């Protein structure tokens, strides 16, 4: 297949000619050392040059949870509406529009519900904590002693805590606690690390909690201050020491000995009353002062979760558009490498091609990365690929696959062509994932990009994928009639 190279960057606009010249001279003077050495030196030279570059392309942005005001909640709903509008627009020119239009009407319905929720009076409180800490006992006692006394419109739910909710996925805001206005987090002694990590994350997500130390009756009075101090110390690192209360939701019954006046001793079992006054005081105070804020904060979280749902569907549509672009550039990369006089893998030429791919992909994902920035991102990706050892591993793996095929003819430049196409694919797919998961901004978070690159690379290292990929590249670059058969290989 003849690929027409239309973009000027592929011809003269690379902007790395000095380095190419340097690499070229290294190549000609050391050619007697053989391909591998030269390849290594080229990579090393590129590495040295790249290492001198600034580490970050731009400041990294942290996602900040807005303060819970009505305006912020309205803004969150507005931002959801914008994403739904984008989705509606993108859905106009795709085939599977029936399902998507159903999704869109459901999303619009959620916007209506969320807007109504801004004035919600009823509160939802979730009681969570590890198994057996007394969640159900607490829920029962609060329902019977507190809600009815105060005629509060409150519902209680209890759910066993799972630390994975706040550690596992990237969208930790989509955890089962998100829809609740307040979290009562129950522990029975020391705060263990996974619980502390969970609480820190809840703070990041703007979720209010009260940490409840239950089963006080199991401790001797002189043990308690120590435990309290330890928990408070830990909590102070996340500015939450005020959030601790201690209770006994269902104290154990106790054996009481009473000395009678006649000298005899009477023994009987007494059931102490639950002791939750510290908690109810805290609750009363919190609800008096912050009831509305709690509702707005929940609305903000819920709106964000629905927005992520919409974004997900939008990303699927965008990915369908992105893949043909990636394929187009991977063939351009293959043909360029195949016909390039430099006999080793030319990472900068690949970077130059990838720069244009980045620009095109960023347009699909509405990131507006222009060519200059695209070049920087492409070089950063080349740098990351080198650093992670992806270039070396892929070249080795592809060489093994090629060498083990039954046809002896392998044209010069074949391995470079396949590597160039492969690395372009890995870069392209990684970028679609990066653009899909990162907050909307034009900054490039190198750390995230690195993780994604590694993951995508690992996924594509699967032997069957690589074999069929080799086939595809060969059919694009090999002269007609040179057939290639790839046989089963065991790649280390």
Residues in contact with ligand GTP by the rule CB under 6 A: 131-137, 158, 160, 214-215, 217-218, 248-252
Tokens of 301: 């979280």
The least distance separating Mg ion from the CB of residue 218, rounded to whole angstroms, comes to 18
The stretch near Mg ion (CB under 5 A) out of 94-102, 127-135, 206-214, 230-238 is 127-135
**Dihedral sign (CA 426, 432, 434, 437):** negative
Give yes or no for a contact between 303 and 79, defined as CB atoms under 8 angstroms apart: yes
143 lies in the binding site for Mg ion (CB under 5 A): no
Give yes or no for a contact between 269 and 81, defined as CB atoms under 8 angstroms apart: no
Non-local (6+) Cβ contacts of 381 within 8 A are: 351, 354, 427, 430, 431, 449, 453
The stretch near Mg ion (CB under 5 A) out of 52-60, 133-141, 143-151, 478-486 is 133-141
> How far apart are alpha carbons 227 and 120 in whole angstroms?
38
The least distance separating ligand GTP from the CB of residue 201, rounded to whole angstroms, comes to 21
Partner from Mg ion, ligand GTP, none contacting 134, C-beta within 5 to 8 A by type? ligand GTP
Give yes or no for a contact between 111 and 81, defined as CB atoms under 8 angstroms apart: yes
Q: Which is nearer to ligand GTP, 137 or 310 (CB)?
A: 137
| Residue, CB closest to Mg ion | 136
The least distance separating ligand GTP from the CB of residue 162, rounded to whole angstroms, comes to 11
> How far apart are alpha carbons 373 and 19 in whole angstroms?
19
Tell me the per-residue interface mask from 77 to 116 with Mg ion, x by CB under 5 A, - otherwise. Answer: ----------------------------------------
Partner from ligand GTP, Mg ion, none contacting 132, C-beta within 5 to 8 A by type? ligand GTP
132 lies in the binding site for Mg ion (CB under 5 A): no
> How far apart are alpha carbons 55 and 263 in whole angstroms?
84
The stretch near Mg ion (CB under 5 A) out of 20-28, 42-50, 61-69, 136-144 is 136-144
Tokens of 181: 């206005």
Q: Which is nearer to ligand GTP, 157 or 410 (CB)?
A: 157
The stretch near Mg ion (CB under 5 A) out of 57-65, 132-140, 260-268, 443-451 is 132-140
Tokens of 97: 């529009």
The least distance separating ligand GTP from the CB of residue 136, rounded to whole angstroms, comes to 3
Q: What angle do CA 189, 193, 194 make, to 5 degrees?
A: 105
Q: Which is nearer to ligand GTP, 69 or 188 (CB)?
A: 188
Q: Which is nearer to Mg ion, 249 or 401 (CB)?
A: 249
Partner from ligand GTP, Mg ion, none contacting 68, C-beta within 5 to 8 A by type? none
Q: Which is nearer to ligand GTP, 31 or 252 (CB)?
A: 252
Q: Which is nearer to Mg ion, 25 or 136 (CB)?
A: 136
The least distance separating ligand GTP from the CB of residue 141, rounded to whole angstroms, comes to 9
Lookup result for tokens 């974004």: 311
37 lies in the binding site for Mg ion (CB under 5 A): no
The least distance separating ligand GTP from the CB of residue 234, rounded to whole angstroms, comes to 21
CA separation, residue 86 to residues 92, 300, 315, 323 (Å): 10, 20, 11, 20
458 lies in the binding site for Mg ion (CB under 5 A): no
The least distance separating ligand GTP from the CB of residue 255, rounded to whole angstroms, comes to 14
The stretch near Mg ion (CB under 5 A) out of 135-143, 316-324, 409-417, 478-486 is 135-143
Phi and psi at residue 423, to the nearest 5°: -65, -35
Q: Which is nearer to ligand GTP, 8 or 132 (CB)?
A: 132
Non-local (6+) Cβ contacts of 143 within 8 A are: 156
Partner from ligand GTP, Mg ion, none contacting 131, C-beta within 5 to 8 A by type? ligand GTP
Distance from the Cα of residue 490 to its chain's centroid = 33
Q: Which is nearer to Mg ion, 276 or 287 (CB)?
A: 276
- Write out the DSSP string of 62-100: PP-PPP--HHHHHHHHHHHHHHHHHHHHHHHT-S-HHHH
The least distance separating Mg ion from the CB of residue 135, rounded to whole angstroms, comes to 5
Total residues binding Mg ion (CB under 5 A)? 2
Q: Which is nearer to ligand GTP, 158 or 304 (CB)?
A: 158
> How far apart are alpha carbons 335 and 450 in whole angstroms?
27
Distance from the Cα of residue 150 to its chain's centroid = 42
122 lies in the binding site for Mg ion (CB under 5 A): no
136 lies in the binding site for Mg ion (CB under 5 A): yes
CA separation, residue 329 to residues 403, 436, 461 (Å): 26, 20, 20
The stretch near Mg ion (CB under 5 A) out of 134-142, 403-411, 424-432, 454-462 is 134-142
- 127: phi > 0 → left, psi -120 to 50 → alpha, else beta; which? beta
Q: Which is nearer to ligand GTP, 214 or 416 (CB)?
A: 214
Phi and psi at residue 29, to the nearest 5°: -75, -20
Strand pairing category for 265-270 and 254-259? antiparallel
Residue ranges that bind Mg ion, judged by CB under 5 A = 135-136
């Amino acid at each position: 297949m003849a690929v027409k190279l239309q973009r000027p960057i592929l011809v003269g606009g690379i902007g790395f000619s000095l380095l190419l010249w340097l690499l070229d001279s290294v190549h000609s003077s050391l050619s007697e050392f053989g391909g591998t050495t030269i390849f290594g030196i080229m990579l090393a030279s590129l590495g040295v040059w790249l290492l001198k570059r600034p580490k970050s392309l731009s400041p990294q942005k942290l996602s900040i949870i807005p303060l819970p005001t009505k305006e912020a909640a309205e803004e969150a709903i507005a931002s959801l509406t914008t994403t739904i509008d984008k989705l509606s627009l993108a859905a106009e020119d795709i085939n599977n529009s029936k399902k998507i239009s159903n999704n869109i009407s459901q999303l619009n319905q959620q916007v209506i519900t969320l807007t109504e929720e801004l004035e919600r009076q009823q509160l939802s409180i979730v009681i969570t904590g590890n198994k057996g800490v007394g969640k159900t006992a607490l829920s029962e006692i609060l329902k019977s002693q507190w809600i009815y006394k105060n005629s509060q419109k409150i519902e209680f739910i209890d759910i066993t805590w799972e630390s994975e909710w706040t550690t596992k996925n990237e969208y930790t805001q989509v955890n089962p606690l998100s829809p609740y206005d307040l979290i009562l987090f129950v522990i029975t002694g020391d705060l263990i690390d996974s619980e502390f990590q969970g609480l820190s994350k809840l703070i990041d997500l703007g979720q209010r909690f009260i940490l409840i130390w239950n089963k006080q009756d199991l401790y001797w009075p002189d043990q308690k201050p120590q435990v309290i101090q330890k928990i408070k110390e830990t909590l102070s690192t996340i500015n939450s020491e005020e959030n601790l209360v201690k209770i006994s939701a269902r104290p154990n019954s106790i054996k009481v000995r009473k000395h009678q006046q006649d000298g005899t001793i009477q023994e009987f079992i007494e059931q102490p009353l639950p002791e939750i006054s510290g908690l109810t005081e805290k609750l009363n105070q919190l609800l008096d002062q912050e009831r509305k804020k709690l509702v707005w904060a929940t609305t903000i979280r819920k709106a964000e979760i629905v927005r992520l749902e919409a974004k997900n569907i939008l990303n699927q549509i965008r990915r369908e558009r992105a893949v043909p672009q990636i394929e187009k550039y991977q063939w351009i990369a293959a043909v360029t490498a195949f016909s390039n006089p430099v006999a080793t893998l030319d990472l900068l030429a690949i970077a130059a091609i990838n720069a244009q791919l980045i620009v095109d992909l960023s347009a699909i994902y509405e990131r507006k990365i222009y060519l200059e920035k695209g070049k920087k991102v492409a070089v950063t990706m080349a740098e990351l690929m080198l650093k992670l050892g992806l270039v070396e591993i892929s070249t080795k793996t592809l060489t093994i696959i090629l060498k083990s095929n039954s046809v002896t003819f392998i044209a010069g430049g074949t391995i470079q062509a396949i590597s160039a196409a492969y690395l372009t694919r890995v870069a392209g797919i990684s970028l679609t994932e990066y653009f899909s998961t990162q907050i909307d901004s034009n900054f490039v978070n190198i750390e995230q990009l690195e993780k994604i690159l590694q993951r995508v690379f690992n996924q594509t290292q699967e032997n069957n994928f690589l074999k069929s990929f080799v086939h595809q590249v060969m059919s694009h670059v090999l002269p007609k009639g040179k057939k290639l058969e790839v046989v089963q290989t065991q790649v280390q």
